[in-house]
Structure 1
Amino acid sequence: MVELADMRLFVSTVACGSLSAAGRELGFSPAVGSKRLTRLEADLGVRLLQRSSRRLTLTEEGVIYYERCQAILADVADAEAAVGSVRQEAQGVLRVSSPVALGRRWIGPALAELALMAPRLSVQLTLTDQLVDLIEGGLDCVVRIGGAPDSRLIARYLTDNRRIICAAPTYLNQRGIPQTPAELVAHDCIVMSRSSASHADWRLEQRDTGLQTTIRVKGRFATDNGELAHDWALAGMGLVRRSFLDVSGELASGRLVEVLPQWTGERAPVQVLYASRRHLPARVRLFIDHLAAMFARAAM
């Protein structure tokens, strides 16, 4: 099997006019270069060069082989340049999975921003609250909230996901703003439940002291869908406990107001997981960096 290194030595020898000059260019000693040319001719079963102490002359077979080698090496150079371009530029299809609410409010917009910066990039975002296997699913990366780490994957921390209690101004104007966790029992609370229960236990932790308490809340509205609970809260149906990341936009615009801000619910890290740090495609590397920068700005 002829090696590309031997082809390059042969072409360089012809172009430079001597084996010594070609060796200096490619880092071969004359002795090693001579052995490699001899091996190349042996592999091909023909003589390529007539060598004398003063000059090198191509044989008829050498002329044909020289022209073909030039074309082959040019194709190899083009292929290497193309791969280098792909490595540096975000292009191709970026396949990502994310939880539904986080994907709609954060990951989807982040992908849209990235696509505007990289016109040759296409995106495919799968939204599901089920645990997705990155490798079996053929994904580039997955965004997860909490959960046990997967030893097969690299995880990059993005931010903390914490639960807060909030409500629409219309509700708070009518019912007042609770000042302590104990006052929650007197309020209509939107219950997240997968059963028919109209009550739920909200665990809270005081930020300054770490004091923990659990309050059983109840209300007329219960659902197993976080998006619907979100919509009911916006409509003024009661207090809701939601991820800060899910309601940050409404808090900023004033459509929702945080209550008991000195108390927080459960926390869980938001992470992006991917298969390997080595040979990471530009589209994946740039997306992960973009996500990290976006969440860092949101935490400021």
Structure 2
Amino acid sequence: MEALNHLQSFVLSAESGSFSAAARRLGLTPAAVSKNVARLEGNLGLRLFQRSTRKLTLTEGGERFLQQVGGALETLQNAMTDVAGERGQPSGILKISMAPAFGRRYVLPLLGRFIERYPGVVPDCHFDNRHVDLIGQGFDVAIGGGIELTPGMVARQFGHAYIVATASPAFMQGRVMPQHPSELAQFDGVVRRSAGSGRLRSWILRDGQGGEGVAECRPRAILDDPEAMAQAAIDGLGVALLPTPHAQPHLRSGALIRLLPGWCADSGPLSIYYPSKKLLPAKTRVFVDFLLAQFEESGFAAQMQADSRRSD
């Protein structure tokens, strides 16, 4: 088992390019990971890394050794994970990143069922509208959309998000319904500031038949959270261009109405992201499988469709 720990430290350090990142994934200190790699180098009689204060680089021998042991270590780790899972023993802290509004609405209601099924796993949920460095910051799972896939990451899609134009019935009372996205320029709007760039977001809406138009309102309020935007629109502050996960519940309840029902913008896939299947812990595997099954059972993907034939 000690040799396996040394190999794990080496492989994760090579994948992440840092002892610190490997330590976060293994639940060890960087010093312990460095010591494990040093012991492996001593046993092999081979230097695996060139070390500097800023960078960790594989030597030629280290690259060759990584190619040789990577697959075998993955097979061994998967076998151990499967055995542990069959005994019903997934356990440990599961570090999860998700957007605040999406997590509260769609993920938190499922956690009780997951904990009941896997009592040894403790979800550690981090809510942030900014994208995290999944591997570098030691997250087991991230949930949401628009996360850039980097080497060593896997994405499992469970739905697709679209941007639709919405407003409260009270706000639209006495106003003429727009027929084209360009006509939204006549309306006050609840607009979103991008958390990454700080710029105000605008969208190009398409009707599925070749038509398109820029959707921009007169900024009446600027917010950086889609659920807050939905609430502001419900309160009558103006038109809000919302992702379907945040729009559909309020459209179904009647608190918001859909403007331009034949038009939408593609906001991209919604996925569960996690480090590559190499050394995937049982706690991560069962959570990913559980969440995907729950989303499929609830018909989540179909609910998020911005079908041009529907106004809800």
Contact 1:102–1:245 (CA under 8 A) maintained in structure 2? yes
Partners of 1:268 and 1:139 lie apart in 2 by 22
CA distance in 1, matches of 2:123, 2:147: 25
The equivalent of 1:153 in structure 2 is 153
- Alpha carbons 1:198, 1:220 under 8 Å: kept: no
Q: What does 1:3-42 align with in structure 2 at a 5 Å threshold? A: none
* Structure 1: distance between partners of 2:178 and 2:118: 48
Aligned-residue offset at 1:204: 0.8
Task: Report what 1:138 is aligned to.
Answer: 138
Give the letter for the 1:202 counterpart: W
Larger Rg: 1
Distance 1:188 1:223 in 2: 14
**Aligned-pair CA distance for 1:105:** 1.9
- Residue 199 of structure 1 and its aligned partner are, at CA, apart by 8.1
Q: TM-score under structure 1 normalisation?
A: 0.63
Q: Does the CA-based 8 Å contact 1:167-1:240 persist in structure 2?
A: yes
Offset, 1:194: 6.5
Asked if the contact 2:189/2:238 (under 8 Å) is kept, the reply is yes
* Cα shift at 1:168: 1.7
Could you say which residue in structure 2 is the equivalent of 1:7?
none
CA distance in 2, matches of 1:112, 1:260: 38
1:279 Cα deviation (Å)?
A: 5.2
Provide the C-alpha distance between the structure 1 equivalents of 2:84 and 2:193, rounded to a whole number of angstroms.
51
- In structure 2, C-alpha distance between the alignment counterparts of 1:210 and 1:282, rounded to whole Å: 47
What letter is aligned with 2:163? R
Which structure 1 segments of 5+ residues have no match?
Answer: 1-79
Q: Secondary structure at the match of 1:185?
A: helix
Between the aligned partners of 2:279 and 2:202, the Cα distance in structure 1 is 47
Change (3 A) 1:92 1:86: farther
8 A Cα contact 2:162 2:244, kept in partner: yes
Q: Give the gaps of 5 or more residues in structure 2.
A: 1-79, 303-312
Aligned-residue offset at 1:88: 3.3
Instruction: Say whether 1:298 aligns with 2:300.
Output: yes
CA RMSD of aligned residues (A): 3.1
Which amino acid in structure 1 is aligned with residue 253 of structure 2? S
Preserved contact between residue 101 and residue 225 of structure 2 (Cα < 8 Å): no
Equivalent residue, structure 2, for 1:182: 182
Q: What does residue range 59-70 of structure 1 map to in structure 2 within 5 Å?
A: none
Correspondence for 1:172: 172
2:204 aligned partner, one-letter code: R
Which amino acid letter does the alignment assign opposite residue 205 of structure 1?
Answer: R
- 8 Å Cα contact 2:243-2:267 kept in structure 1: no
Residue 213 of structure 1 aligns to which amino acid in structure 2? G
Cα pair distance change 1:210/1:101, threshold 3 Å: farther
Report the equivalent of 2:271.
Answer: 271
Identity over the aligned pairs, expressed in percent? 28
Distance 1:239 1:133, change over 3 A: same
Partners of 1:87 and 1:204 in 2: how far apart?
51
What one-letter code is carried by the residue in structure 2 that aligns with 1:264? Answer: C
Deviation at 1:275, TM superposition (A): 1.7
Is structure 2 residue 226 aligned with structure 1 residue 202? no
What one-letter code is carried by the residue in structure 1 that aligns with 2:168?
Answer: A
1:200·1:218 contact (CA, 8 Å) conserved in 2? no
Name the counterpart of 1:3.
none
CA deviations over 1:89-129 (Å, ceiling 9, x no partner): 44432211112222222222233332243334321110112
Q: Work out the number of aligned pairs and report it.
A: 219
Contact 2:129 2:225 in 1 (8 A): no
Change (3 A) 1:167 1:113: farther
Task: Classify the secondary structure of the residue corresponding to 1:266.
Answer: strand
Q: 1:213 Cα deviation (Å)?
A: 1.6
Q: Which amino acid aligns with 1:101?
A: A
Structure 1 runs of 4+ with >6 Å offset:
197-200
Q: CA deviation at 1:190?
A: 1.4
* In structure 1, C-alpha distance between the alignment counterparts of 2:90 and 2:256, rounded to whole Å: 37
2:97–2:125 contact (8 Å) kept in structure 1: yes
Counterparts of 2:228 and 2:144, CA distance in 1: 21
Aligned partners of 2:226 and 2:246 also within 8 Å:
no
SS at match of 1:263: coil
Instruction: Tell whether the 8 Å contact from 1:87 to 1:281 is kept in structure 2 after alignment.
Output: no
Contact 1:86 1:282 in 2 (8 A): no
Contact map agreement 1:182 1:215 (CA 8 A) in 2: yes
Aligned partner of 2:306 in structure 1 is none
Structure 2 counterpart of 1:254: 254
Amino acid at match of 2:223: T
